[in-house]
């Protein structure tokens, strides 16, 4: 199983079991704290739950990757070190890291555990990737969702480690690990606290007279949806704003839309991509079951030399719309 | 609380008056039993609720004659039917069609997808809703089936009937 | 005030697409009149803009150095395309002046030769700073969103390692970068076909919510805060924590006078209240914020009694 591994999200132990049972080659997850970038209320794993999850996955031939992919603020690094120590004790198969201090700690203290470079590290060139491979022994890089397939192919030829790309889910617009938009409006940081548009700061306000719904973050109106319009996450980069020459309001960054590269899987494999990542630790078991099952079938078909029959996954996508984003064409930029 | 409805949600009965009160009182003992049973069998979900164990949730199935009031406090669990003119001050309100809410409960449908499609409405404390959703999502198996099974074959028959009745106009499905 | 009058003021790299003429005039005035000790040059945001002012760079460096300023050349924050990789590699070969790296590609090319770590390299904590120091970093600019308690720990650690420590104290906060150009998008174009429309907005393109609250600024691939960060009232405390350099980001206001407001406070030449009043007058209608420093929403302005 070295080619086209399917890397699947798990926000809860039940979701992890669902992903494993649906055919995940590996599941990624995190603790219930700021050490990972999906530090959402009610989500993630206690140490005991992670230990059991590793046993469940390993018994069925699946790997567990622990996300430690946030940036510890000075004075709080110990929380990340302890998380790494726990993960190593439970036998996780890899750590997904972004911060150089965290990477250095793991490389020195847990040299037997693989290091994967998180998308939060924003390594988008062969040189940047080689920096992490050279110094921390990073075995795999999760590429930012900003590269075309020919660009990925070129990078693959110039780096000494595996490539993992996102194939489905939330379509990040900003360079991950370099975005403080949420902190600017809420006081909670994506990099340091692992939150993006935290639910505690989100409010939906419905205007009874018109049927419009406003989604608000930190008291700011990020978007307004007409009664028939599909909605999206209340994230700043998917909001509608006005500019001096756009008084009508427009999606200044991106529309509510999800990434779906199901049709590009053969091309990605051809470009040398080693692992396919499905986004969505914050999503439900229903999402995990449907998306993982669909991509399991597709990847198996492609590997067996059959034409993949890609199901229409659009109902699960944000704004009920999907895109191939930067992977398809430079014009996305 | 108003009786207005979103454009993508169907009209609803007024949910007030004598009929609503009668329906609520008939549903009450059943709801209490269901809640106690689920709480006993899935104690771990309370940990995921954190401080929202004390939040008053109003679950509003738009086509039923009453709404549901949930306070998931393990020490004093509350799950009751309430006429819409007697709703408590809600920390968070979750509104949608009954079967979709049932499917959300069982993680058969994805809550985010239902929200994107505007079939699910959330007002009040969004974090409370997210916590409840994540807590319920970590429960293995079907809470609806468990509840139905408590009432033997008639319970299962009612659930089956409900699912058939709604399946024609069901929401975008998770699978 | 022994600590603060040794604190250096720096002028960060121009984030916007100012014309060659505007830049020449700007730096001539900085050289002659601004009480800043160090000036960062170079294009950090968009590699397409770099050719417009590369030719002027040697003259600008010479002009500033003649005026007694230390000059540092900053590298691109985002490195993906061939021209960005080449620009970064070329910069990393420079021996003089000093260089500031904003991307790990630059760290790779630089090896252990001395360099400064820029604000886009995510030096959030003492472990990372220690790692970077071991790899040749001489100076580190902390992320703009770092709160006070973390700044204190990070600055202490950096100082113990013999590094300079810098923090942005004025100007729009850098909030995000993207592969996509939002200036081009706003005008129905793509990045490859942008026609340098960002030149129209020397202080960024304002975005407001649909209920008319100004909230963000677009600067090409970068998203910035609507408000100017203003840590003038906190400058004394920041210096006392061990931050050695205070960074002023160039905005479309009188930057010479902005620099004087900070210098006067650091030198004890005027009260914080007077200097802050001058700064507010210089910034016109633009909001001033210090929320990140106080660990709250970045756009907020916390009125705290500043220590003398």
Place of tokens 């080449």: C86
Do A57 and A101 reside in the same domain of the chain? yes
Contact indicator for A118, A98 with CB cutoff of 8 Å: yes
pLDDT at B167: 58
Do A217 and A99 reside in the same domain of the chain? no
Residue A52 structure tokens:
């059991």
- Number of A–C residue contacts, CB under 8 Å: 232
Bridge-partner residues for C80, per DSSP?
none
Residue B12 lies in a domain: no
Half-sphere exposure of C293 (CA within 13 A, CB side): 25
Which has the closest alpha carbon to A237: A123, A325, A129, A152? A325
% of chain C with per-residue pLDDT over 90: 93
Q: Which residues of A touch C76 (CB under 8 A)?
A: none
- Mind listing the pLDDT tens digit for each residue in C148-169? 999 999 999 999 999 999 999 9
Q: Which residues of A touch B123 (CB under 8 A)?
A: 204-206
Do A186 and A264 reside in the same domain of the chain? no
Count of structural domains within chain A = 2
Give the residue numbers of the binding site of C for [4Fe-4S] cluster.
Answer: 46, 181, 194, 198
Residue A9 lies in a domain: yes
Residue C12 lies in a domain: yes
Do A164 and A201 reside in the same domain of the chain? no
Q: Which residues of B touch A207 (CB under 8 A)?
A: none
Q: Last residue of a domain, which of A220, A251, A282?
A: A251
Contact indicator for A278, A167 with CB cutoff of 8 Å: yes
Do A198 and A158 reside in the same domain of the chain? no
Listing DSSP states for chain B in one string gives ------TTSPP-----HHHHHHHHHHHHHHHHHHHHHHHHH-TTHHHHHGGGGG--EEEEETTSSSEEEEE--TTS-EEEEE-GGGPPPPSEEEEE-HHHHHHHHTTSS-HHHHHHTTSSEEEE-HHHHHHHHHHHHT--S-HHHHHHHHTHHHHHHHHHHHHHHHHTTPPSP--
Position with higher pLDDT, C232 vs A311: C232
CB distance C209–A185 less than 8 Å? no
Is residue C60 scored above 60 in pLDDT?
A: yes
Pair type for strands B67-71 and A162-170 = unpaired
Q: Kindly indicate the confidence band of residue C74, based on its pLDDT and cuts at 50, 70 and 90.
A: very high
Decide if B41 touches A, using CB distance below 8 A.
Answer: no
- Mind listing the pLDDT tens digit for each residue in A289-305? 989 999 999 999 988 98
pLDDT at A311: 59
Bridge-partner residues for C117, per DSSP?
C101, C140
Residue A135 lies in a domain: yes
Residue A193: give the domain boundaries.
181-251
Residue C141: give the domain boundaries.
4-170+229-271
Q: Kindly indicate the confidence band of residue A262, based on its pLDDT and cuts at 50, 70 and 90.
A: confident
Q: What is the DSSP letter of A160?
A: S
Q: Which range (A200-209, A315-324, B139-148) has the least confidence?
A: A315-324
Is residue B6 scored above 60 in pLDDT?
A: no
Q: Last residue of a domain, which of A199, A223, A251?
A: A251
Decide if C246 touches A, using CB distance below 8 A.
Answer: no
Residue B6 lies in a domain: no
Residue B49: give the domain boundaries.
17-167
pLDDT at B2: 33
pLDDT at B15: 65
Count of structural domains within chain C = 1
pLDDT at C1: 45
Helical H runs in A146-240? Answer: 149-158, 181-186, 190-193
Residue B7 lies in a domain: no
Which residue in C123, C127, C187 has the most chain A C-beta atoms within 10 A of its own C-beta, making it the best mutation to test that interface? C127
Do A316 and A196 reside in the same domain of the chain? no
Chain A residue with CA closest to C120: the answer is A178
Question: Counting beta carbons within 10 angstroms of the beta carbon of residue A83, is it exposed (0 to 12), middle (13 to 18) or buried (19 or more)?
Answer: buried
Position with higher pLDDT, A88 vs A225: A88
Which has the closest alpha carbon to C76: C108, C106, C111, C112? C106
Q: What is the phi-psi region of residue C8: left when phi exceeds 0, alpha when psi lies from -120 to 50, beta otherwise? A: beta
Decide if B89 touches A, using CB distance below 8 A.
Answer: no
Count of structural domains within chain B = 1
- Mind listing the pLDDT tens digit for each residue in B33-67? 888 888 888 888 899 999 999 999 999 999 888 89
Residue B10 lies in a domain: no
Neighbours of chain A (3+ CB pairs under 8 A): B, C
Q: Which residues of A touch C143 (CB under 8 A)?
A: 180, 191
Is residue C305 scored above 60 in pLDDT?
A: no
Residue B79 lies in a domain: yes
Decide if B139 touches A, using CB distance below 8 A.
Answer: yes
Half-sphere exposure of A228 (CA within 13 A, CB side): 0
Do A148 and A285 reside in the same domain of the chain? yes
Residue A43 lies in a domain: yes
Residue C80 lies in a domain: yes
Q: Kindly indicate the confidence band of residue B171, based on its pLDDT and cuts at 50, 70 and 90.
A: very low
- Mind listing the pLDDT tens digit for each residue in A92-135? 999 999 999 999 999 999 999 999 999 999 999 999 999 999 99
Q: Map residue A116 onto helix, strand or coil.
A: strand
B102–chain A nearest CA distance, Å: 13
CATH number (domain holding residue B71): 3.30.1050.10
Q: Which residues of C touch A105 (CB under 8 A)?
A: 127
Q: Last residue of a domain, which of A210, A230, A251?
A: A251
CATH number (domain holding residue C62): 3.20.20.70
B111–chain A nearest CA distance, Å: 7
CATH number (domain holding residue A75): 3.20.20.70
Contact indicator for A90, A82 with CB cutoff of 8 Å: no
Do A81 and A221 reside in the same domain of the chain? no
- Mind listing the pLDDT tens digit for each residue in A55-70? 999 999 999 999 999 9
Residue B174 lies in a domain: no
Pair type for strands C205-208 and C214-219 = antiparallel
Do A160 and A110 reside in the same domain of the chain? yes
CB distance B121–A204 less than 8 Å? yes
Residue C191 lies in a domain: no
Q: Which residues of B touch A320 (CB under 8 A)?
A: 116-117, 172
């Amino acid at each position: 199983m070295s080619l086209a591994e399917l890397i699947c999200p798990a926000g809860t132990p039940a979701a992890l079991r669902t992903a494993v049972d649906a055919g995940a080659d590996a599941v990624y997850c995190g603790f219930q704290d700021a050490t990972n970038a999906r530090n959402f209320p009610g989500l993630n794993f206690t140490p005991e739950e992670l230990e059991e999850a590793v046993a469940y996955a390993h018994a069925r031939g699946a790997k567990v990757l622990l996300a430690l992919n946030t940036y510890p603020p000075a004075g709080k690094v110990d929380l990340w070190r302890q998380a790494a120590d726990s993960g190593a004790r439970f036998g996780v198969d890899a750590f997904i890291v972004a911060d150089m201090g965290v990477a250095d700690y793991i490389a020195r203290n847990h040299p037997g555990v693989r290091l994967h470079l998180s998308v939060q590290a924003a390594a988008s060139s062969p040189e940047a990737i080689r920096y992490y491979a050279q110094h921390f022994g990073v075995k795999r890089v999760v590429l930012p969702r900003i590269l075309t397939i020919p660009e990925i192919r070129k990078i693959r030829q110039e780096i000494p480690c595996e490539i993992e790309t996102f194939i489905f889910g939330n379509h990040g617009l900003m360079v991950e690990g370099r975005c403080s938009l949420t902190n600017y409006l809420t006081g909670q940081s994506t990099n340091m606290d692992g939150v993006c548009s935290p639910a505690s700061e989100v409010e939906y306000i419905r205007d009874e007279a018109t049927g419009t719904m406003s989604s608000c973050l930190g008291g700011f109106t990020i978007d307004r949806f007409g009664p028939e319009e599909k909605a999206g996450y209340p994230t700043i980069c998917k909001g509608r704003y006005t500019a001096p020459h756009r008084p009508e309001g427009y999606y200044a960054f991106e529309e509510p839309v999800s990434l779906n590269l199901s049709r590009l899987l053969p091309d990605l494999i051809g470009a040398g991509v080693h692992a396919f990542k499905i986004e969505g630790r914050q999503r439900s078991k229903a999402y995990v079951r449907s998306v993982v099952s669909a991509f399991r079938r597709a990847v198996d078909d492609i590997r067996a030399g059959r034409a993949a029959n890609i199901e229409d996954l659009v109902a699960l996508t944000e704004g009920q719309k999907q895109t191939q984003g930067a992977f398809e064409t430079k014009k996305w930029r | 609380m108003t009786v207005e409805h979103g454009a993508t949600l169907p009209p609803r009965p007024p949910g007030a008056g004598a009929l609503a009160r009668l329906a609520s009182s008939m549903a009450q003992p059943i709801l209490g039993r269901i809640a106690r049973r689920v709480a006993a069998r899935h104690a771990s979900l309370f940990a995921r609720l954190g401080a929202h164990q004390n939040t008053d949730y109003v679950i509003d199935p738009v086509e039923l004659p009453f709404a549901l009031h949930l306070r998931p406090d393990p020490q004093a669990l509350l799950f009751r039917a309430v006429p819409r003119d007697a709703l408590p001050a809600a920390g968070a309100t979750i509104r949608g069609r009954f079967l979709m809410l049932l499917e959300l409960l069982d993680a058969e449908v994805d809550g985010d997808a239902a929200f994107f499609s505007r079939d699910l409405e959330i007002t009040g404390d969004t974090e409370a809703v997210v916590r409840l959703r994540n807590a319920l999502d970590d429960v293995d198996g079907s809470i609806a089936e468990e509840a139905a099974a408590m009432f033997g074959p008639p319970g299962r028959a009612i659930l089956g009937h409900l699912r058939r009745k709604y399946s024609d106009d069901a929401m975008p499905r998770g699978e | 005030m022994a600590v603060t009058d040794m604190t250096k003021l720096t002028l960060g790299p121009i984030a916007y697409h100012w014309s060659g003429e505007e830049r020449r005039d700007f730096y001539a005035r900085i050289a002659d009149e601004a009480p800043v000790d160090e000036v960062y040059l170079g294009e950090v945001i968009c590699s397409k803009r770099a050719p417009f002012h590369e030719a002027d760079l040697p003259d600008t460096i010479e002009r500033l150095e003649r005026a007694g300023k230390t000059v540092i050349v900053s590298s691109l924050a985002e490195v993906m395309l061939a021209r960005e990789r080449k620009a970064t590699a070329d910069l990393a070969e420079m021996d003089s002046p000093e260089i500031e790296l904003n991307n790990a590609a630059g760290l790779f090319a630089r090896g252990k030769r001395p360099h400064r770590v820029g604000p886009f390299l995510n030096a959030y904590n003492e472990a990372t700073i220690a790692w970077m120091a071991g790899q040749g970093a001489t100076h580190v600019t902390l992320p703009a969103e770092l709160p006070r308690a973390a700044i204190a720990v990070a600055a202490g650690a950096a100082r113990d390692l013999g590094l300079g420590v810098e923090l942005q104290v004025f100007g729009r906060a850098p909030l995000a970068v993207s592969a996509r150009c939002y200036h081009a998008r706003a005008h129905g174009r793509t990045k490859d076909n942008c026609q340098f429309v960002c030149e129209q907005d020397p202080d960024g393109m304002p975005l407001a919510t649909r209920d008319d609250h100004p909230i963000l600024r677009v600067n090409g691939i970068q998203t910035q805060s609507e408000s100017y960060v203003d840590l003038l009232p906190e400058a004394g405390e920041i210096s006392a924590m061990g931050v050695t350099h205070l960074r002023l980001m160039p905005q479309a206001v009188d930057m010479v006078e902005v620099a004087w407001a900070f210098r006067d406070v650091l030198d004890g030449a005027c009260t914080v209240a007077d200097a802050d009043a001058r700064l507010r007058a210089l910034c016109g209608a633009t909001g001033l914020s210090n929320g990140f420093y106080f660990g709250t929403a970045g756009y907020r302005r916390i009125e705290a009694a500043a220590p003398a």
